[in-house]
Structures are given as C-alpha cells and as structure tokens.
Amino acid sequence: MNSTGVTLDTCGIAELAAVVETLSDSVLHANLTPLADGEVVELMQRLETCKRQLSALDSRLIIEACNRSLPEGSGAKGVVPFLRQTLGLSKYDASVRVKITMQCGEFFEPTGHLRPASLVKTAEAYEAGNISRDHVRNIIDVMNHLPADIAAETRAEAEDILVGHSRIGWPDDLPKIGRDILARIDPDGKVVSDADRRRRRGLILGRPGVDGMSWIEGWITPELRALLDAVFAKLARPGMCNIDDADSVAATATVVDSKVLEAAARRDRRDGGQRTHDALFALLQPGVDPTKLGSHRGLPVQAIVTMSLNDLERGAGVATTASGGHVSIDEALKMAEGTKPVLAVLDADGLPLYLGRCQRLATPAQRLALIARDKGCTRPGCEAPASMCAVHHVTDWAKGGPTDLTNLTLVCDHCHALVNGSAEGWKTVVMGKDSPYRGRTGWIAPKRLDPTGTPRVNDRHHVGEWVAAAIESSCRRWGSRAA
C-alpha cells in the first residue's frame, strides 16, 4: 500500500492515472506560503523528477498506439499527425516525442523478441527522472552525428559521457560536448571536415521589402565567427554604437571612459539583435579601421584561441575562442599565423604554457593567461564567455589580496556584483592542492542556498578537458579488456 491508499498490485492503469490527476490537482491548489525557501526549491526539484518520469511514459504509449494501429484508424497520415490531433501538440513537440521513442523505446521484433532501446543508458536515465526531454533530444542529435563505422565500445562511451553530463548539467551544453567528442574520435575530419564547413559557407542578402528592410541568412565558418565575436564583444555592448543615441560611445573611440559607457548603457533600450546590427553598421563606416578598434576589457580587439598541448601534439580536438566558440586545431594554427590573433597553449593541467605577443607581468598578459585558464566566468552555472568578463581578485585587494595570477579570476559583471561581505553574498577561494580542481576558483554560495559552504567550480567552459579524460580512460579500459 502506498501513501495514497491505492494498492498498486491490484489497481489498474486507469485508476492509477486517476490518482495522478487527483494528486496533481491537490498540489496545484495547495497553499505554498508556509514553505521555507529551501522547501520551495526541494518541492520544485521533486516535481520536476515526477514530470520527467511521466514524460518518459510517452514512448511506451506511442509504441502501444502504433501496435494497435491507432494512427491509421484515426485517419491520420502518420504518428506525428496522430499525436497532434489527439493531444493538441505542435508539429515540433510531436516530432521530438516520436524521435525519442525511436531511440529510447523498446520494440517487439516480428519474431516476438523484445528489442532493447538503441540508447539504453539514455532511456534508463530518462525513465528515472534524472534527465529531461531536452537532454534526451540533444543526446540523440549528438549520437546521430557520430560516424556509423566507429566501434560499439566508442559509441557506448560517447553516450555514457553525454548522459553523465546530463545528470548534473544543462541541455544547452550538450551540442558543445558533442562537438568536442566528434573532434576527438574523428580527428581526420572524415565526418565533418573544415572543407565541408567551407563548402557550406555563405551569406544571402534578400531583396529589400516595401519598407526598405532586407533579410539576411546563411552560414559562417567558425573562424569568421571567432573574428566577429571579438569585434561584437566591444562594439555590441550596451551603450556602444547606438544609432538612437548621439552620445553613445562610437566605434572610433580607442579609449572608453567607463563612466560615459555606464551612462550610455543605462539609456540603452536595444535588444541583442539590434546592438549587433548597430555594431556591424559602425564597423563598416568610412574611416573605421578594424585593426584600430582600441581595447576591450584591457586587451586589443582581436580573436584569441586556446588549445591544450596534448591536442596540439595529436592534431585532434578543438581550440576554444575567448567568446566560447570552437575552431579545429588546424584552423586555429592558421589563424595564429596572422598578425592579429593570439594563440595560447595550455599544459596537461590546463595552465598557460606559452602566450605569444605578451609582455611579462603586464596587465594584458595577465588577462590573456586568465582567458586561457578560465575561459569564461568562474561562478558555477554561468555561461558568460571570457569576452564578457572582468578580472576579479579572489582574495579582495582591500584585504591584502595581490594582483597575481594565482589570486585573479574571470567573472562576468552580473556575478561580480554577487561577491560581497554580506550574509547574502557569495565568496571566492582558490581550490587547494588536494582538490581535483587545484588552482581554480571555487565559489561558496550563501548559507541559505548551501548551508555546507562547499566551494564549487564552474565546468561549463571546460567540457573539452573532461571529455578528453573520459575518452582516454575509455581507450585504456577497452584496451586492457582486449588484452
């Protein structure tokens, strides 16, 4: 007997569904005011797990409906139309459910044998409520891009890496992890090569409409993206190049007064797309020299790429840009041959090994080293790339903290404001030698969020490192089994 008073072994599925409806209605209309802050968060997490488990039931129901030929009997022209007309779903939602069913559902073969799910680990985590539908959708997209002829062990390890991240991470990070996995198991570019990307490149400007506006669409290479990101990081900031504000900071301003920029940013009502448009417009104005755009957060406006020494020696993996993008190792080396891009190579511990075009102990050199090491904001969960971050003293300058690399870290403006001496403020520390993250910046949340005060690091910008470690571990494990 469970807490609802319903005996599960004697209760039919219809009665169980009725119980779920009753409980859902009771929870929906319950008084939440008496709950403490922590209890609200706990309730959200528990209900999210329940919703995930119920959404995983979709695959079984879709398979059952197909086995009974319900789509055909309803007059629908397929499973997706059947789901749309039966459940009132969008075409996208119905298609996603069918795609998940095909990969995570169990089907009976014509022989009567039950065929296990194609992605067994994904299906298990989904049914347990550990990962969401968005996690599953992204895992399927990554797995479908893997080479068809790779070893079954490698494919299983790739799925294991993706599911392992999904249990603790965000669905949005899975495509980035997938790119890193693909770059490491397909170093020769047999699946997606730089030549393939160059073939797809292209921008189309449509004909002007009645109002004179033109649409634009197309694909740009990772290299062009890296160069544009470096420019937009400065020129598309709030307060920069605003065509609606004559007093905003212009693209030709090599030195930006922080107070003037802050005042212009407060007046700025543009969205991200409008700021990008105005930045490109400013860049193409007569008299604007792209090589003389001044500095952004203490560094010249330029593309900065980092890579590990191990990847450089193997010629596999990807290099990371300061804006969070990825380029292949070969293309990164080509970019580094020019006069503007800066190449940073990291050692096995992820620490800067070589920094080209830098002066020792100069502020720009320190920032370059931080970009190579931290890659973005270090507060757990934040996805702001290095190009959007300021330099922060882990031990505050006012408390005797030195301006040394060991005491500096990258933090975006929003997260920087969270660090203060109040009870609601976050704290930063340097992870010790006994930590697997030694030398990196740990963040301690306020007691109301984490009573244990455990320092945590941000892995969102370091997926390539643990993907590489997981694949190396897999190779050793499968190699020892083969022996």
Copy the structure tokens of residue 186. 């397909």
Domain boundary among 296, 328, 353: 296
Domain total in the chain: 3
Copy the structure tokens of residue 62. 């879709």
pLDDT in tens, 390-435: 888 888 877 777 777 788 899 988 899 899 878 889 999 999 888 8
Does 245 lie in the same domain as 170?
no
* CA gap 373, 404 in Å, rounded: 14
Note whether residue 3 is domain-resident: no
Give percent of the chain above pLDDT 90.
Answer: 25
Copy the structure tokens of residue 481. 């089994």
Note whether residue 483 is domain-resident: no
| pLDDT attached to residue 326 | 72
CA distances, 140 to each of 81, 110, 121, 135, 136 (Å): 22, 25, 12, 9, 6
| pLDDT attached to residue 192 | 61
Note whether residue 31 is domain-resident: yes
Note whether residue 242 is domain-resident: yes
CA distances, 324 to each of 2, 173, 383, 389 (Å): 49, 11, 9, 12
Note whether residue 71 is domain-resident: yes
Burial of 252 (0-12, 13-18, 19+ CB in 10 A): middle
Does 282 lie in the same domain as 143?
no
What is the average per-residue pLDDT within 264-272? 91
Does 258 lie in the same domain as 141?
no
CA distances, 476 to each of 154, 373, 436 (Å): 12, 27, 20
Task: Identify which of 297, 447, 317 has the alpha carbon closest to the alpha carbon of residue 385.
Answer: 297
CA distances, 354 to each of 154, 194, 230, 347, 350 (Å): 33, 26, 21, 9, 12
Does 103 lie in the same domain as 58?
yes
| pLDDT attached to residue 231 | 82
| pLDDT attached to residue 337 | 63
Give percent of the chain above pLDDT 70.
Answer: 80
Does 292 lie in the same domain as 239?
yes
* CA gap 241, 423 in Å, rounded: 39
pLDDT in tens, 28-59: 888 888 888 888 888 899 999 999 999 999 99
Is the per-residue pLDDT at 253 higher than 80? no
Note whether residue 337 is domain-resident: no
Note whether residue 348 is domain-resident: no
Does 402 lie in the same domain as 286?
no
Task: Identify which of 170, 184, 156 has the alpha carbon closest to the alpha carbon of residue 464.
Answer: 184
Does 265 lie in the same domain as 181?
no
Burial of 233 (0-12, 13-18, 19+ CB in 10 A): buried
pLDDT in tens, 359-373: 333 356 677 788 878
| pLDDT attached to residue 303 | 67
Domain boundary among 263, 296, 329: 296
Does 34 lie in the same domain as 133?
yes
Does 181 lie in the same domain as 69?
yes
Does 272 lie in the same domain as 388?
no
Note whether residue 478 is domain-resident: no
Model pTM? 0.65
| pLDDT attached to residue 135 | 96
Is the per-residue pLDDT at 313 higher than 80? no
Does 166 lie in the same domain as 98?
yes
Task: Provide the domain limits for residue 243.
Answer: 219-296
pLDDT in tens, 94-117: 999 999 999 999 888 777 788 889
| Residue that wins the pLDDT comparison between 199 and 83 | 83
* CA gap 443, 430 in Å, rounded: 9
Burial of 468 (0-12, 13-18, 19+ CB in 10 A): buried
| pLDDT attached to residue 357 | 38
Is the per-residue pLDDT at 25 higher than 70? yes
Q: Which stretch of 285-289, 369-373, 448-452 has the lowest confidence by average pLDDT?
A: 285-289
> What's the mean per-residue pLDDT of the chain?
80
Does 278 lie in the same domain as 400?
no
* CA gap 374, 462 in Å, rounded: 8
Domain boundary among 258, 275, 296: 296
